[in-house]
Structure 1
C-alpha cells in the first residue's frame, strides 16, 4: 500500500512495483485522481492488480476509516509505503486542530501505521517504509510548539515534519526489533525530484521544477522515475535492515541512484524519538501493538 500514489514519486513507485507483480493499493485523498492513476497503471501493465483507497492524512477520522476498510479487505499486508506528504506555504490547521504540514507528513502516517500494523506483523519480511527528505537535516522538533502557534514558516514546518519521519522510523524499528517482530521499519528520501510537490510553492521553486529546464537543472533535480527508486529499494532490497535509510548518495544527495545513506545526528536522538512517539500517541489517540523497546529518560 502506497500513500499519495496518484502522482509524482508515489505513482512511479506504485507503477514499478506493479510491473514486478505486486498487487498495489493507491491510498489517496482524491478518489477521482486515484482512479485515474490506477487506470494509467493498468493500461501500462495489463496484468496488474491495482486498487484504490480514500485516505486524507490531514484528517484523523479519514485515517481511521481508511484503516478500517483496509483491515476488512486485507488480513495481510506485505508493504506499507508512507509516501504522501506536502507543505502549506501559509499557516493552516486541520479539522483536528493540528498544523497542516505536521499533520499530513507525520501525525497522519503515524496514526495510520499504528492502526494497520497488525496486518503487517502477520507477514514475515513485511516492511514499513517512510519517505523523508534531505531537508530533515535543517529540521528541529519544537516540542513546546509542535503546531507553530507562535509563528509559522513553511520551510521550518516541512523540515520539522521530515525530521519527525526519521525519528518515527528509528523508534518503530527499535520497538519491532525488541518484540522480535517479523516486520522492519526503513526510511528513504528521493533527493530533489521534479514533481507536482512544488505547485503551491513560491515562484522560484515552481520555476526550477519546470520540465523545460531539465537540461539546465539535471544536477539539482531528477525525474520522479529515478527519485522513486529510493523508496522502492527500501521496500524490496533483500539486504535491507531495520533502521536503514536509502537515498541518492554523495555530498549534497540531490540526485542519483539510491544507496544506504546517513541521516542527521538529531534524527538519532533516542530521547527525542521517544518523546515524539509519546506526543504522537497523545495527539492522535493511537497506540501500537508493540511496546517500548528500551526505557529512555528524556534529557
Structure 2
C-alpha cells in the first residue's frame, strides 16, 4: 500500500466534501477480534478525558498490560486512572505528569520513561490545545497553539523515538502516533509574514486567527513527518498522523468562550462522530496499520494524501526550511543528534 508521500494530492475543490465523506460516508473500523495486547505497554498523552481516555479504555479492553496516562494534572489523572482500574483490575495503570507547554517537563518525562520502563510498544500523542485568544508561553515566548500542537509535540516525539526503538521487542518496530486534523488540508502554504523565519511569522499576533492558527499548527506536523522518514526507518519505529474526525464530547474546546459553547454542542450533535468511533482511529493508527503508514496521514481509517502544497517544489522547500528552524529551536536538547543516531542500525 502506498504512503501519503506516494499518493497523488487530493483533488477536492471544496473542503466540505472531504468533511462529509469523512464524517458520514465511512464505516468505522475496529481492530480484528483476535487482537490481544497482553504484555504490551502504551503511553497516551492528555489521557484523563475525551479521546485519549477512551483510546486507553479500548486498549485495556484488548488486554493491554500497562497503560501510562501522561497528564498535566495529577489529580485529574488519578481520577481517570481510578475509573479504569476499577474496570480493568489486572492491568497496570499509571499516571505520569507532563506539561506540554514546558520543554523542561517534556525532557523530564522522556527521561522518566527511559529510566523506569523496561518495555514500551506504543505512544499516542493526543494532548493539544485550541484557543480563541492569542497568548504566548512564558518559558519560550511562542504563541501557545504553535508551541503545544507543533513544537512541543515534535520535541516529545523526537525524544521518545530512541526509547521506542530500544524498548520494543526485537524484530518489532515501536509505534508513535500523533493526533492530527483534516483541517490541515485547507491550510495555504505557510510564509514568513515578513519575518526572517517561518516560526517568527507564525508567532506574529497580527496574523493570529484562532481557527487558522489551529489548522496551521497541525499542518506543520505533516511537514515534519515528510522529513522525518529520511531519518527514521519503519523497521525501528512506525510514525504516523491520525485524524479522528470531528468528535463530540471531547474537551478540546474547553478554552472556547462560554457563549460559543452551545453553538459547538449543537454542531456536534448534528455532525459529530461519537467518542467511541473517534478513539478507534487511534487504535487503527497505533497498532493495526503497518509499515505502509510510516510518515503518513491517516483519515477515515486509511492512508490519505498530505496537504496538496506538499507535492509542489515550493512545499518541499518550505518543509526543508521548517525542519531546519525546528532543529535550531530544539538544539538545546540535541535533537539533530538524536535523529542522526536513528539512522544507524
Secondary structure in structure 1 of the residue aligned to 2:241 = strand
- Paired with 1:209 and 1:19, the residues of 2 have a C-alpha distance of 31
Counterpart position of 1:136: 184
1:113-151 residue CA offsets vs partner (Å, 9 max, x unmatched) = 222221111223211111110111232433151212433
- Paired with 1:93 and 1:191, the residues of 2 have a C-alpha distance of 28
- Paired with 2:118 and 2:319, the residues of 1 have a C-alpha distance of 30
CA contact (8 A) 2:158 2:339 kept: no
* 1:159 and 2:159 aligned: no
Note the aligned Cα RMSD (angstroms).
2.4
Secondary structure in structure 2 of the residue aligned to 1:226 = helix
Secondary structure in structure 2 of the residue aligned to 1:62 = helix
TM-score (norm 2): 0.74
- Aligned pairs (5 A) from 1:1-299: 1-22=43-64, 23-94=66-137, 95-122=139-166, 123=168, 124-140=172-188, 141-142=190-191, 143=198, 144-177=200-233, 181-194=235-248, 195-202=250-257, 206-210=261-265, 217=270, 220-241=271-292, 242-248=294-300, 258-267=301-310, 269-285=315-331, 286=333, 287-288=335-336, 289-291=338-340
Bigger helix fraction? 2
Q: 1:237 to 1:200 in 2, by over 3 A?
A: same
- Paired with 1:274 and 1:283, the residues of 2 have a C-alpha distance of 14
Q: 1:235 to 1:152 in 2, by over 3 A?
A: same
- Paired with 2:342 and 2:70, the residues of 1 have a C-alpha distance of 30
- Paired with 1:75 and 1:181, the residues of 2 have a C-alpha distance of 20
The CA deviation at 1:261 is 2.7
1:218-242 residue CA offsets vs partner (Å, 9 max, x unmatched) = xx11111111111110001153521
- Paired with 1:223 and 1:75, the residues of 2 have a C-alpha distance of 35
- Paired with 2:288 and 2:278, the residues of 1 have a C-alpha distance of 16
Count of aligned residue pairs for this structure pair? 279
- Paired with 1:137 and 1:270, the residues of 2 have a C-alpha distance of 16
TM-score (norm 1): 0.85
The answer for unaligned runs of 5 or more in structure 1 is 249-257, 295-299
The answer for unaligned runs of 5 or more in structure 2 is 1-42, 192-197
- Paired with 2:320 and 2:73, the residues of 1 have a C-alpha distance of 33
Point out the structure with max Rg over C-alpha: 2
Counterpart position of 1:252: none
- Paired with 2:254 and 2:277, the residues of 1 have a C-alpha distance of 20
Higher relative contact order by CA 8 Å / sep ≥ 6: 1 or 2? 2
Counterpart position of 2:26: none
CA contact (8 A) 2:175 2:286 kept: yes
The CA deviation at 1:31 is 1.2
Q: 1:274 to 1:181 in 2, by over 3 A?
A: farther
